Chains A and B, each alone.
Chain A
Amino acid sequence: MQDPPSAAELVRAVATFLREEALPALDGRNAYLARVSANTLEIVARELDAAPAADAAERARLLALLGETADGEARLEQLNAELCRRIEAGEIGAETPGLLAHLWTTTLASVAVDQSGYSGYRRALEEARPGEGPAGEA
């Protein structure tokens, strides 16, 4: 384990420098790319904060969805590949209990990292999620 500052703190410091000091000194394409760079580092920082818990929860939901045939040691990507295979084969679909709730939870978590200001994300947060009861239980 590394001593502090954390990776997220380091990345945020660079993002702040880019946005608040470098960007105002640049113009044209370089200013645009500096803004994209700051946004990108902020994605990294949010992911560093969120990924451990989000990945563990996604993994637990995938194992529950895939049932006892799922390999408990498989990597997250392999579990997702197996879910994709079963959706394509028609073995799992929108009617499968838990699938839509899982996909909504997973997708909302990933857009929250990538682009929390995205209009479709903001609207999705205001709406009831398919696959959930009226109380909003995931």
Chain B
Amino acid sequence: MVDIEALAGIVRGFAPSCRGIEGLRRLTGGASQETWSFDALRGDGSKLGLILRRMPGGMDDSAGPDSRKISLADEAMLLGLAWRAGIPVPPVLAVLPPAGSLGAGYLMSRVEGETIPRRFLREPRFAAARAGLARQCGEILARLQAIPPAELPPLRLAPAAVELELYVERHRSYGWPKPVFELAIRWLRERAPAGDIAPVLVHGDFRSGNLMIDEQGVAAVLDWELAHLGDPMEDLGWICVNSWRFGEDAHPVGGFGSREDLFAGYEAAGGAPVDPERVRYWQVLGTLKWGVMCASMLEVFRSGADRSVERVAIARRSSEAAIDLLRLMAGRD
């Protein structure tokens, strides 16, 4: 549980009139971090909507078992850098002190918007926002990549070959023979881009589902825990993975837009000329990664860490990655 008194004390650091916490509830999702929503009650009776991100059960922010994920302190730092770079992100209001009763983590404003893709991809009220989303995503990625590497916290460096082998190793560790994945691994190894591409900040999970959308467009880019240094084309390819189209496959970018708009927004906002072949490479690698991530849900289920039907059922979505990989290797989209 959350130490309410300690939480109110942290809130008073940036909202001195805070006289209480209400509506505290844990949001779904996030097995490696806890996300809580609550309101701070201010002296004038108004409420301030806040989000607490912290380690499960209030633990320290030591590196977890998953080497792909960054610490919450680094996540808070990245959000600050992204905010200053003009990227829509929730403002970070406080970083939790070390060795406090709340554990490691931070507080940010609660941004209002829709994260459920099936809603913002289909509801008429988002139609105007959808029309501009692909271009806006390109602009966001260009701004992200313009953050000087010297300002970034230490991040793992993962050019294509490193990222591929990380997921090959995970896949092999599950002992689950999948000939389609094996063929895709060979396809990807034979085509891996050369390693001399200057690395930039990569969000690592930039897709429908991790974007908060309102009627104007992207209200916030969420879920930064897979951020790393890598190929500038990586995030552009990941958002084209078929699974993030949520059935809206006439729109290859996130189920809402075209590659032309994504690339135009990226280049207009200062991104380097797009290499569509390399973007496609990252789409194929992204599809393999998604298939491996689905399979990893079974490991979490079997370990006992999460025995939910939701968790174990996602493992069966590994076959959607297999059919997408076959289509991609046949030159389809």
Residues of A within 8 A of B (CB): 29, 32-33, 36-37, 39-40, 43, 77, 80-81, 83-84, 87-88, 90, 93-94, 99-100, 103-104, 106-108, 110-111, 113-115, 117-121, 123-124, 127, 130
Contact = CB atoms under 8 A, between A and B. Distances in A.
B320 A77 contact: no
8 contacts: A36-B309, A84-B177, A103-B183, A111-B319, A120-B249, A121-B323, A123-B327, A124-B326
A111 B317 CA distance: 8
B313 interface: yes
A4 B326 CA distance: 39
Contacts, number: 95
- Which 6 pairs from chain A and chain B are nearest by CB? A80-B177, A81-B177, A87-B182, A84-B182, A114-B316, A110-B319
Interface of B: 28, 177-180, 182-183, 185-187, 242, 245, 247, 249, 308-310, 312-313, 316-317, 319-320, 322-324, 326-327, 329-330, 332
Select the residue from B179, B308, B310, B316 with max chain A CB neighbours within 10 A.
B179
A120 B183 contact: no
Given A36-B310, A121-B320, A124-B327, 10 more contacts: A87-B183, A111-B319, A111-B323, A114-B320, A115-B319, A115-B320, A117-B247, A119-B249, A123-B332, A127-B327
A121 B327 CA distance: 10
Interface of A is mostly: helix
Select the residue from A43, A113, A123 with max chain B CB neighbours within 10 A.
A123
B296 to A, nearest CB: 16
A75 B24 CA distance: 52
Contacts of B326: 100, 103-104, 107, 124, 130
A83 B179 contact: yes
Given A77-B177, A119-B249, A120-B242, A107 B330 contact: no
